[in-house]
Amino acid sequence: TNIFCSISTYSRINARRWRKNLMIRNTYTLKMLPQTERNEREERLPLTFPPKILVLSLVKGIRIALYLIKKAC
């Protein structure tokens, strides 16, 4: 279980870092885009991307799994 623990903590740190990088990159690209293109993109988003609720539930599920792993250790 110790290996499992270290993996979970490592992945959690990585996920946090990755998310931060993604956020920074997204804001940067949004700033670079002209206003009209940005509006078009926002209108197009719901079709291409999965619903926000789905993503949130997935994240919650992962978080619960990590919590349980941590508890098991």
C-beta of residue 73 within 8 angstroms of C-beta of residue 5: yes
* Over residues 52-72, mean pLDDT: 77
Q: How confident is the model at residue 64 (pLDDT cuts 50, 70, 90)?
A: confident
The total number of structural domains in the chain stands at 1
Q: Quote the pTM value.
A: 0.30
Helix 52-72, helix 2-32: angle, nearest 10: 150
Q: What integer pLDDT is reported at residue 60 of this predicted model?
A: 83
Tokens of 59: 């994240």
Q: What integer pLDDT is reported at residue 45 of this predicted model?
A: 52
Q: Please write the tens of the pLDDT for every residue from 5-59.
A: 666 666 776 777 776 766 666 665 556 555 555 555 555 555 445 566 667 777 8
Collapsing DSSP states into helix, strand and coil, what is residue 73? coil
Give the domain extent around 27: 2-72
